[in-house]
Amino acid sequence: MKSLKVSLQTKIFGLALSLGLLLILLMTGFYSYMESKQIEENKGRLALELSKTVSFIPTIIDAFQTKDPSKAIQPIAEKIRKETGAEFVVIGNKDGTRYAHPMISKIGQRMKGGDNERALTQGEYYISKAEGSLGPSIRGKSPIFNHQGEIIGIVSVGFLLEDVQQQIINNIRRVLIVSFFALLISLLGSMLLGRNIRKDTMGLEPYEIASLYKEKNAILHAVKEGILAIDNKGYITMMNQKAKRLLHLQGTVKNRKVDGLFPSNYLYEVLRSGNSQTDKEMVWKDKTVIVNCTPIVDETGIKGVVASFRDKTEIKQMLNTISEVKSYSEDLRAQTHEFTNKLYVLLGLLQLGEYNQAIEMIQSETQTQQFQNSVVFNQIKDSKVQAILLGKLGKASEKKIKFEINSDSYMEILPSHIKLSNLIVILGNLIDNAFEAVYECETPTVKFFATDIGRDIIFEISDNGKGISDVEFPLLFERGYTSKNGTEPRGFGLSNAEEAVLELNGIIEVQSNQESGSVFTVYLPKNVRGDENFG
């Protein structure tokens, strides 16, 4: 079942409302209990104190000795009742006959409630609850003593429970009104808080932020560039795995100073100026990296810097691969061009009626093509190597170089870890280097041999050029070194070939002398490193 996506503001509002109502309910219940208990206790103590006070009034005590005690006692009792707010002040004799009562018609009748015994027989002062002639009430009971200390009557002062409960309800109502306004204020505060949070999150909901966070992490770990971010004090806030690998870092780097972990000159410059830095070349330890820096800015100013960087060696390898692919396409173009030239020659011979020469030319080309195709297509089964050799055959034909593919060559389909780009860089550069070496020879010849017998794949390219001198030999694979003249950038072919061989965990050997030329042999292991069963 798909979960309902509720906005953050609605969640905060709902939480504030729920908590507010829960607090009001708990507070009202607790207050009601405590207030009810407190009011009843207060009313009881007040009733008891009033009854004690009345029981000690001399006029009332003396009135008990008269023929009509009610005549003197009733006015005093009513006055006290009205002044104190009591519901009733009832005075009776030892038999419970009333001498004072709020309702005059009740005077002379016996007191109700059945709670006079303790005062009349034991002389106790106490609080009780009972139902009298006016209804259920809280009463304070006090005995009346004469001047000889004898119990002659009783005073009962009371407050109706109905009035007490009404007072409690009125107090609770006031609490509820205050709580209601407090709830309104909390709800208003929750709305303002929700809006403020949405402003801080740029109007995004939490689930949207979570989604963006997951996307950001996926992107950071998917890109090939190293990425790191720092705050405006130079502390690292984020670094992806590629950056850690490039900088040879392990463990957690968050909240560490960027100084010492990464060349920070450009980062601090961007923090200071607020201007981006693009395609800056920096040397860090054993690597040359290309760095781009961009400031992180909001309305309050520069908050930090994010930098992306990549090992320049990787970029060079990519450019070299592109260059080799371009060379490979030129080889195919050369083959097409050479074939077109031969077709034109053949057409010319036919038009001149030189049919015998045309037949000889066709037979010669056919024999050559059949031999080459037999070796390329029947003995070398890998389509990548076939494509490279066909291109180089065309280029050799165009340059009038004899390019021989050894008839003992044999190769099955290469392992999947050896890509076309690897072969273009390795074979393309070595064959081209051999073509250049024999360019000034009278009979320029380049030979190619390949085999996959054994645990290694072996490629051998030999030429009949002038060889490599003792001075040139140590510099042969140095990047940028060339023995050729010219203004175009050169000296990268053999260096690129060596790097590609090493990348495949292979080796390259060179044998050369000035009489027989040079032989380059490449050994590529069939197995990926750590995979004993591959191939």
Structural contact between residues 295 and 274, judged by C-beta atoms closer than 8 angstroms? yes
CATH topology (fold) of 1-104+115-222: Beta-Lactamase (3.30.450)
Q: 148: burial class by Cβ within 10 Å (0-12, 13-18, 19+)?
A: exposed
Backbone angles phi, psi at 277, to 5 degrees: -120, 130
**431 C-beta neighbours (distance < 10 Å), count:** 24
Cα 61 from Cα 430, distance rounded (Å): 137
pLDDT of residue 358: 67
Cα 422 from Cα 525, distance rounded (Å): 13
Angle 490-495-498 from CA coordinates, rounded to 5°: 155
Cα 127 from Cα 125, distance rounded (Å): 7
Tens of pLDDT along the chain (535 residues)? 455 677 777 777 778 788 878 888 888 778 777 877 887 888 889 999 999 999 999 999 999 988 899 999 999 999 998 998 888 899 999 988 999 999 888 898 988 878 888 898 899 999 988 887 777 888 899 999 998 889 999 999 988 888 777 877 888 888 788 888 888 888 888 788 777 777 777 777 777 777 877 887 777 777 778 888 999 888 998 888 888 887 778 888 888 888 877 777 778 888 888 888 888 877 666 667 788 889 998 878 888 999 888 876 655 556 556 655 565 566 556 556 566 666 666 677 677 777 777 666 665 655 555 555 656 778 888 988 988 888 888 788 778 898 898 989 999 999 988 988 889 889 989 999 999 999 888 899 999 999 999 899 999 999 998 888 888 888 888 866 666 654 444 556 788 888 889 889 999 999 988 778 899 999 999 887 544 443 3
**93 C-beta neighbours (distance < 10 Å), count:** 17
Q: What is the CATH number of domain 354-525?
A: 3.30.565.10
What are the residues facing 351 on neighbouring strands?
A: none
pLDDT of residue 144: 93
> How many Cα atoms within 13 Å fall on the side-chain side of residue 377?
7
H helices of 401-522, where? 420-437, 493-503
What are the residues facing 130 on neighbouring strands?
A: 137
**481 C-beta neighbours (distance < 10 Å), count:** 15
Q: Which residue has the tokens 């020879």?
A: 441
> Structural domain boundaries of the chain?
1-104+115-222, 224-312, 354-525
**Residue of 477, 511, 506 lying closest to 494 (CA atoms):** 477
* 310 to 53, 269, 480: CA distances (angstroms): 99, 20, 22
Left if phi > 0, otherwise alpha if psi is -120 to 50, otherwise beta: which for 337?
Answer: alpha
Cα 73 from Cα 90, distance rounded (Å): 10
Q: 375: burial class by Cβ within 10 Å (0-12, 13-18, 19+)?
A: buried
Angle 329-332-336 from CA coordinates, rounded to 5°: 140
Q: Do domains 1-104+115-222 and 224-312 have the same CATH topology?
A: yes
Structural contact between residues 411 and 383, judged by C-beta atoms closer than 8 angstroms? no
Cα 111 from Cα 133, distance rounded (Å): 8
At 411, list the tokens. Answer: 């190769």
Cα 461 from Cα 392, distance rounded (Å): 12
* 3-state SS class at 375: helix
pLDDT of residue 530: 45
**227 C-beta neighbours (distance < 10 Å), count:** 19
Cα 411 from Cα 4, distance rounded (Å): 62
Cα 420 from Cα 529, distance rounded (Å): 19
Q: 120: burial class by Cβ within 10 Å (0-12, 13-18, 19+)?
A: buried
pLDDT of residue 534: 36
Cα 60 from Cα 332, distance rounded (Å): 137
pTM (predicted TM-score):
0.40
Rg (CA), the chain: 55
pLDDT of residue 450: 94
Backbone angles phi, psi at 65, to 5 degrees: -90, -5
CATH class (in words) of the domain with range 224-312 = alpha beta
Structural contact between residues 487 and 493, judged by C-beta atoms closer than 8 angstroms? no
